[in-house]
Amino acid sequence: MMGRGQGSMLAGLLLLLCACTAPAAANLNMSALCLTVPDGMFVSSQMDCSSYYHCQGATASLMSCSNGQYFNKDTQTCVASSQSTCASKSHPCLGKTVGSFQPDSSSCGGYWYCGDSGAIYGSCPTGENFNPTTMACVYAYQYACSQSVVDSSSGASPGVEVALNLCSLIENGFYFGSASDCSGWNYCQDNVLHSGTCQNGLVFNVNGKSCGYRSPSSCAQVTNDPSLTGAVAPTTCTTSGTMKNATACNQYYLCTGSSYTLMTCGSGLYFDTVSQTCVARMQARNDCDRCLGSTKSFVNAYSSSGCNQYLYCVNGAQKAVETCPDNYYFNEDAGSCVYETEPAFKCCNPDGLSGQPATTAAKTTTTATTTTTTATTKTPA
């Protein structure tokens, strides 16, 4: 997808400093998930490869593999970590080969690259999903990872976000229930989710793994838990003129009458959530996806720890979070880390506080003003 090995030693240094933070993901409600699978089944944990859950009704009991083993959802057993397909959120590359890719179980397009210096988070370009079987970014129709995938930039459903890839947690090859529809069923094949509906008024029986007549205990799996159905923000509004931030920085929702309409800022402008207006990019206080819609390779990260962090973008998709050396701050307009005593860019410093206390040692030794080079981050084929 992109060239490799263009990086200099300096870029290698930047990668060493990589903060490697993944986008926040909704915590999965394991009780609600367990209700959709048969009693006695084991499901993976999103947080840690060596732990997993035993499901019995709405009771999810946390279990642990011993001896450094990882849980394998498809064999329903603990196996050597190298044989496991699990990607742990806290240590995604633990036990994995350097140079391999691991899926992010909480995002359809997210993945981890396991480099020499640890895990580096990346995202497939907009409209593509990460296929954990082939370890590649593919078009969403080729790998429909979740039933709740909605492209929020289309404006169809404000606030709807990708919840998770159910098939990274649930065993392949059997039918399980839907948290939002009593007649709905799901099925994972090669980690790809297939969904359907029982016909002729039948409902899905979770323990029978089949469609059947409704009984008094039917439909317990329908919890509409937002962590499973894809959290839905209200699509209706009451006060005309009210604004709400969108996924893309240059867009926002405007309440017109009783519903939100997706609006786009003028060229080069981003939506500022504080002043509720479109402003110059570097001044926009908006925790949005700053790579989305941008043609730049490097953009400021929004206030994770001041202006020293920045994002590496390829084709408008975030590939990595990187960090400037001490006393350097990222300046999106310059496209590089620059020496600055107190960066005033609101996009990465919304509280107006200095990003990092300066250290005198670094001050006396540093004279260069730009340090950013081409990135060495690798991407899936």
Ligand X SMILES: *[C@@H]1O[C@H](CO)[C@@H](O)[C@H](O)[C@H]1NC(C)=O
Give residues in contact with ligand X (CB under 6 A): 29, 31-32, 58, 159, 223, 225, 245, 273, 286-287
Strand partners, 270: 279
Closer to ligand X at the Cβ: 273 or 374? 273
Task: Give 303 or 371: the residue with its C-beta nearer to ligand X.
Answer: 303
DSSP SS3 for 61? strand
15 or 37, CB closer to ligand X? 37
Give CA–CA dist 317/78, Å, rounded: 35
How far apart are CB 368 and ligand X at their closest, in Å?
Answer: 33
Least CB distance from residue 126 to ligand X, whole Å?
17
* Smallest separation, CB 304 to ligand X (Å): 13
Nearer to ligand X, 85 or 178 (CB): 178
Q: Closest distance between ligand X and the C-beta of residue 192, in Å?
A: 26
Q: Is the dihedral of CA 26, 107, 149, 282 positive or negative?
A: positive
Q: Which helix (H) or strand (E) holds 300?
A: strand 298-300
Cβ pair 185, 140 in contact under 8 A: no
Local structure of 226: helix, strand or coil: helix
Q: How many CB atoms lie within 10 A of CB 32?
A: 20
Q: Which is nearer to ligand X, 25 or 65 (CB)?
A: 25
Classify residue 67 by burial, with Cβ atoms within 10 Å: 0-12, 13-18, 19+: exposed
Least CB distance from residue 216 to ligand X, whole Å? 18
If the CB atoms of residues 84 and 223 are measured against ligand X, the closer one turns out to be 223
By C-beta, is 290 or 378 nearer to ligand X? 290
Residues 6+ apart with CB under 8 A from 291: 123, 299, 311, 313, 316, 317, 318, 319
Shortest Å, Cβ 278 to ligand X = 14
CB of 35 to ligand X, least distance (A): 6
CB of 44 to ligand X, least distance (A): 18
- For the beta carbon of residue 216, count every other beta carbon within 10 angstroms: 5
Contacts of 194-202 with CB under 8 Å at 24 or more apart are 194/144, 195/147
Q: What is the C-alpha separation between 285 and 22, in angstroms, rounded?
A: 20
Q: Which is nearer to ligand X, 159 or 380 (CB)?
A: 159
